[in-house]
Amino acid sequence: MSKHREIGGKPLRPESLMMSYGYDPRLSEGAVKCPIFQTSTFAFESAEAGKAFFEVAYGLREQRRGEKMGLIYSRLNNPDLEILEGRLALWDDAESCSVFESGMAAITTSLLAYLTPGDVLVHSEPLYGGCDHFVKHFLPRLGVIPIGFPAGVPMADLAAELTAKIAGRPVAAALLETPANPTNALVDIQGLSDLVHSLAAPGRPAVVMVDNTFLGPLWQHPLQHGADLVLYSATKFIGGHSDVIAGAASGSAEVMLPIRTLRTFMGTMSGPWTGWLLLRSLETLKMRMTAAMKNARYVADFLADHPKVPQVHYLGHLAEGTPMFDLYHRQCVGPGSMISFDVQGDQAGAFRFLNALTMVKLAVSLGGTESLAQHPGSMTHADIPPADQARMGITAGMVRLSVGVEHYEDLIADLTQALEAV
Ligand SMILES: *Cc1c(COP(=O)(O)O)cnc(C)c1O
């Protein structure tokens, strides 16, 4: 395996390693690109080798120094997944990564690996609709107590109230989503991590998980700010072409072990085709995310000046001197390419706008090469009762825009004519 990470003592950047890291062409007839290993199972060289692989895979003993772990069965490991996991971990400088067949599979497997009846799960609000449903409607059936707090509130105004709500019960995990979907409100990862770690049961550390789908893996690195686990819907920026559903979780080997083990038993790993598609996507990840972020600034500036757009939520427009501006500069590397904005005329105005778009497609999902727009109140967040939507800042006229890699002047032309229809 080619796992060189430096040349002449200088560390190589992740974007340089995406074409080579972890893949040895000599093992695949010299193929420059990693083939799709479309196989369910792998032949052992001997019965002794098969026995040794299972001892390590089932945790019957530790892997010996220098011992090479072989391939067993594609629910446990597969070359496309192993190479992908090695490459994905580089972006977050994580020790270990596991990939899943969806973002929801990554998030639910991670939560279930750490939660037991009676545990408190602290979570930010709003959460992605699927996560909101799992946390509030499924986990309580297992006896888990979800305790939410609003994104966008500085730690100084949050800590005492949240601690009182937890009321001394053991906190086993936290699920933070920042920036929040669709409002772009921020959560202080370091502040929440410190608080949640201090409220864990003795001898059982709490695991702080951050859904980094909106900014990662380029523009935010939660593991550097006190989090234990970073989660992705790889369907979004990592996949980047709106043609695959996938997820990922990265962290230390110790934090990842129970998650990887549960993945084996629940069968939530991704297949080799998904792995191969994501390997391909990773080669252009930085270019795509950088191009989309540059476009988003032009689009956000245009929207902020438009008379039919009363409000724009964009990380690049946070007002200097506010607590969220300071937090953004501590925690984020760039503003990304997600913009939410209010269209005048509430839902009817937003719908007139969405129906008039010609190049930007009316669809949920985000992070693809093409720009997508949708109405959170009636689409991605329809499951959340109207009063809760209002509390979370999801307004009737709100449109969420995922800016793609088209020419920004063409995007602005489409938005201009669609706003004329409002
Ligand atoms: C899309 C998304 C998910 C769910 O991921 P899937 O790949 O659709 O299962 C979770 N969190 C966020 C923030 C998302 O945008």
Give, in words, the CATH class of 285-420.
alpha beta
Q: Where are the alpha helices (DSSP H) in 115-227?
A: 129-133, 159-166, 189-198
pLDDT per position as a tens digit, 216-273: 899 999 999 999 999 999 999 999 999 999 999 999 999 999 999 999 999 999 999 9
| pTM: predicted TM-score of the whole model, two decimal places | 0.96
Give, in words, the CATH class of 79-282.
alpha beta
Per-residue pLDDT at 1 exceeds 70: no
User: Of 5, 73, 75, 136, which one is the catalytic site residue?
Assistant: 75
- The closest alpha carbon to 119, from 141, 137, 138, 143, belongs to 143
Cα–Cα distance for residue pair 319/198, rounded to 1 Å: 32
Q: Which atom of ligand 1 is nearest to the CA of 104?
A: 9
Average pLDDT of 275-301?
A: 98
* Per-residue tokens: 311: 């409000």
Looking at per-residue pLDDT, the higher value among 55 and 134 belongs to 134
- Give me the sign of the Cα torsion angle 123, 125, 131, 132: positive
Closest protein CA for atom 2 of ligand 1: 233
Whole-number pLDDT of residue 3: 81
pLDDT per position as a tens digit, 336-374: 999 999 999 999 999 999 999 999 999 999 999 999 999
Phi, psi of 96 (to 5 degrees): -150, 150
Whole-number pLDDT of residue 11: 94
pLDDT band at 199 (very low <50, low <70, confident <90, very high): very high
Q: Which atom of ligand 1 is nearest to the CA of 181?
A: 13
165 an active-site residue?
Answer: no
Quote the ligand 1 centre to 410 CA distance (angstroms): 28
For 385, the enclosing helix (H) or strand (E) is none
Whole-number pLDDT of residue 350: 98
Burial state string for 108-144 with b = 16 or more CB within 10 A and e = fewer than 16: bbbbbbbbeeebbbbbbbbbbbbbbebbbeebeeeeb
Instruction: Give the amino acid at 194.
Output: D
Which whole-number Å values give the CA distances from 389 to 252, 385, 419, in the listed order? 35, 6, 24
Whole-number pLDDT of residue 38: 97
Mean pLDDT for the chain overall: 95
User: Of 80, 132, 211, 342, which one is the catalytic site residue?
Assistant: 211
Quote the ligand 1 centre to 155 CA distance (angstroms): 26
Percent of the chain with pLDDT over 70: 100
DSSP state of 155: G
Phi, psi of 331 (to 5 degrees): -105, -30
**Domain locations in the chain?**
79-282, 285-420
68 an active-site residue?
Answer: no
pLDDT per position as a tens digit, 87-106: 999 999 999 999 999 999 99
